[in-house]
Amino acid sequence: MLFMKSLFSILAAVLLLSTHLWGQEVVNSPSNDSINATLLFEYQQRLDELERQRKADSLRREELEEAFKQRQGTDGPDRDELQKELNAITQEDERRQLQKKSHIESLRSSAVGYPVRGVMEDTLFYIYSKIGASMPKERALNISAKIHRLYDDDFLNVDSIIVQKSENSYDIVYRDLIVMSVSENDALWEGIEMQTLAQNIRDSIGGSIEMARRENSLVKTLVRVGLVLLVLGLAWLVFWLIGKGYAKLLAYVDRNKGKWLRNLSYKDYTFLTAEQEMLVVLFLLKIMRWFVYAILLYITLPIVFSIFPFSRQWADALFRLIWSPFRGVLMSVWAYLPNLFSILVIYVVMKYVIRFVKYVFHEIGAGKLEIGGFHADWAMPTYHIVRFLLYAFMFVLIFPYLPGSDSNIFKGVSVFIGVLFSLGSSSAIANMVAGLVITYMRPFKIGDRIKIGEVTGEVIEKTMLVTRVRTIKNEVITIPNSSILTGNTTNYSVEANGQGLIVYSTVTIGYDVPWRKVHQALFEAASRTDMILSEPQPFVLQTGLDDFYVSYQINAYTRESGKQALIYSVLHQNIQDVFNEQGIEIMSPHYRASRDGNATTVPADYLPKDYEAPAFHVKVKRESGGTGDVR
């Protein structure tokens, strides 16, 4: 328990430190640094203009003071005019000073100075204004470099760093080295006198050098080495304890797995067996162990780095490296919450609109709501189209709220995906358009018996892309809708429940059989066939007078469009039986009615018992000129 409390305390400290470091990173980020440089540059331009005016007024003041001295002891209008002009210049100088202060106050909330670093990389003070051609950032870097030069001087006496008054500034000097010049603008930024500011900066520089010497002494170094070894030893001990605890935890789980783990099943299906659950538990424990190792390592390294001054920046960099992305993600999520709420509102509203539309079309499809000219079987396909359009409209409303929707990368990826979709889905889009047209053409519906090209069967499924047909052999054939739209479709079921579907078959009979007898035989065969209607009555068409036979076509009505194969099979059986009973030879395929030595084609069961095949007739011509018949 004590270890867990200590661990939570360390984690809390890490979080607080990371928050501080992340705040520093935001302040000193490249974007903020650019904005800060722009603000200071604009201020410096205004300051340069005021300085030029001040110098001009200063020269004029000197001229007026010299003229005023020459007229000293005399009275007259010239002396009064000189005094008025001197007073005006003094007032203008005061006005400029107030203008500088006012402008500086307006910048305090937005502009950030450039830090001057000490030997220990600690911030001593900030630079906001330039001197001569040196910009604030350049001044800060130069002063930091000179402080390091002073520290590298083994014979440096901090008391030898002094403040000297120059023409327009106070200089911080060590021997012949001018460490820094404090100008009037620097004093205005700090809100104190130039001499006081120069003395404060001198004390800060001296204190930083003395502290660095103390921190880098041999005793301090040895103490830090000892602290590093202590931290590493404690970290190794904790790692060892975690390993031991992990091994004991595994043994404890293995002993009790029979009590804790059961097969996870529903009815007859087992989702996870006890062995699989054990593997999951072991995997989670391993992940947890490595996570604890990572946390411990992440805590140990910054502590080790923070012991030595030269490596403290490494600790800061490590914290920023890990925590800044996490904090950036969290802040981005927090900033995105208003847009997310807007997306949820749009989604919920559109969801209930789609539900209402679905209800309306469902009522139309069920026949409860009738709209003139709108068929019930159009309801659900039309609902799918309307739903797609509503979802597209919803996406248009949501798109501006998506993260990164206004970025060029997002737009480029969107265009790229659109091009790929258009190039790779041309056939799919053609099938979808064809499916839409077929829906409203209504050439067939689910359950109809149809013929598409060479495929005949029952429609079992219609989608936007394909139509599926089951043949009489239970073969499910998928046909693209574009093929259906460009070809012919025969529907056997449309009129089956009305006038009835006509089934027909053709037989060829020789010219020696009277056509009325053939008609009667075909009518008889049709009447014996189940599923053929008596009303309307069957009829026969003579479709051809060929070389050796006449073509007769029997036409009969049926309502069973899905059983055509069975109807045709039975009809053909009955035609054979009736024709055989009546002694009519079916001349298909291409029999010739030649009886010279050939038996009839009527089956033997239908022939009389004394039937004999006719003999061959051969006519022989003798040499004497006579002829005779030979059988």
For residues 154 and 594, the model is more confident at 154
186 in a domain, yes or no? yes
Q: Is the pLDDT of residue 86 over 50?
A: yes
Query: Does residue 223 sit in the same domain as residue 303?
Result: yes
Least-confidence region, from 95-99, 336-340, 446-450, 542-546: 95-99
% of the chain residues with pLDDT over 70: 76
1 in a domain, yes or no? no
Average pLDDT of the segment spanning 129-148: 86
For residues 549 and 595, the model is more confident at 549
For residues 150 and 427, the model is more confident at 150
The pLDDT of residue 614 is 74
Nearest to 69 by CA among 52, 88, 86: 86
Average pLDDT of the segment spanning 543-569: 90
Q: Is the pLDDT of residue 531 over 70?
A: yes
CB 349 within 8 A of CB 357: no
What angle (nearest 5°) sits at the alpha carbon of residue 441, between those of residues 439 and 444?
A: 70
Least-confidence region, from 16-30, 75-89, 390-404, 502-516: 16-30
Sign of CA dihedral 257, 263, 264, 270: positive
pLDDT band at 439 (very low <50, low <70, confident <90, very high): confident
CB 370 within 8 A of CB 364: yes
User: Cα separation of 21 and 103, whole Å?
Assistant: 30
Least-confidence region, from 15-29, 233-247, 396-410: 15-29
Query: Does residue 124 sit in the same domain as residue 67?
Result: no
342 in a domain, yes or no? no
246 in a domain, yes or no? yes
pLDDT band at 424 (very low <50, low <70, confident <90, very high): low
Sign of CA dihedral 484, 488, 491, 494: positive
Query: Does residue 185 sit in the same domain as residue 276?
Result: no
Query: Does residue 212 sit in the same domain as residue 226?
Result: no
Average pLDDT of the segment spanning 182-205: 85
* Residue after which a domain boundary falls, among 462, 491, 520: 491
Task: Indicate the SS3 state at residue 498.
Answer: coil
Q: How far is Cα of residue 313 from the mean position of the Cα atoms in its chain?
A: 38
425 in a domain, yes or no? no
The pLDDT of residue 539 is 95
The pLDDT of residue 558 is 92
The pLDDT of residue 307 is 80
DSSP string, 356-372: HHHHHHHHHHTTSS-BT
**Domain of 125, in residue numbers:** 114-216
Q: What is the 3-state secondary structure (H, E, C) of 121-172?
A: CCEEEEECCCECCECHHHHHHHHHHHHHHHHHCCCCCHHHCEEEECCCEEEE
Q: Is the pLDDT of residue 613 over 80?
A: no
Query: Does residue 232 sit in the same domain as residue 278?
Result: yes
Instruction: Report the DSSP beta bridge partners of residue 17.
Output: none
Average pLDDT of the segment spanning 580-594: 73
Count structural domains, the chain. Answer: 5
Share the mean pLDDT of the chain.
79
Q: Is the pLDDT of residue 344 over 60?
A: yes
Question: Which domain CATH number covers 437?
Answer: 2.30.30.60
Average pLDDT of the segment spanning 461-485: 88
CB 602 within 8 A of CB 557: no
User: Cα separation of 163 and 205, whole Å?
Assistant: 12
Query: Does residue 120 sit in the same domain as residue 96?
Result: no
Query: Does residue 51 sit in the same domain as residue 119?
Result: no
Q: Which DSSP symbol is given to 616?
A: P
For residues 338 and 191, the model is more confident at 338
CB 25 within 8 A of CB 17: no
Average pLDDT of the segment spanning 250-263: 85
For residues 282 and 313, the model is more confident at 282
Q: Is the pLDDT of residue 118 over 90?
A: no
364 in a domain, yes or no? no
Q: Is the pLDDT of residue 152 over 80?
A: yes
Query: Does residue 508 sit in the same domain as residue 591?
Result: yes
371 in a domain, yes or no? no
Q: Is the pLDDT of residue 3 over 50?
A: no
* Residue after which a domain boundary falls, among 170, 185, 216: 216
Dig out the tokens for 275 from the structure: 């062995």
The pLDDT of residue 11 is 41
Query: Does residue 132 sit in the same domain as residue 223?
Result: no
pTM: 0.43
Query: Does residue 239 sit in the same domain as residue 207?
Result: no
Least-confidence region, from 108-112, 122-126, 233-237, 277-281: 108-112
Dig out the tokens for 62 from the structure: 């000197």
The pLDDT of residue 416 is 72
Q: Which DSSP symbol is given to 91?
A: H
Average pLDDT of the segment spanning 259-284: 84
Q: Is the pLDDT of residue 492 over 70?
A: yes
The pLDDT of residue 167 is 76
Q: Is the pLDDT of residue 115 over 80?
A: yes
* Residue after which a domain boundary falls, among 192, 216, 240: 216
The pLDDT of residue 567 is 92
% of the chain residues with pLDDT over 90: 22
User: Cα separation of 280 and 274, whole Å?
Assistant: 10
For residues 226 and 214, the model is more confident at 226
The pLDDT of residue 529 is 93
User: Cα separation of 8 and 631, whole Å?
Assistant: 125
DSSP string, 503-515: EEEEEEE-TTS-H
User: Cα separation of 207 and 118, whole Å?
Assistant: 9
Query: Does residue 210 sit in the same domain as residue 239?
Result: no
Q: Please write the tens of the pLDDT for every residue from 361-385.
A: 888 888 888 887 777 777 887 888 8
Average pLDDT of the segment spanning 537-565: 91
Query: Does residue 598 sit in the same domain as residue 507?
Result: yes
Least-confidence region, from 21-30, 94-103, 182-191, 342-351: 21-30
pLDDT band at 18 (very low <50, low <70, confident <90, very high): very low
What number of other Cβ atoms are within 10 A of residue 318's Cβ?
Answer: 16
For residues 36 and 522, the model is more confident at 522
421 in a domain, yes or no? no
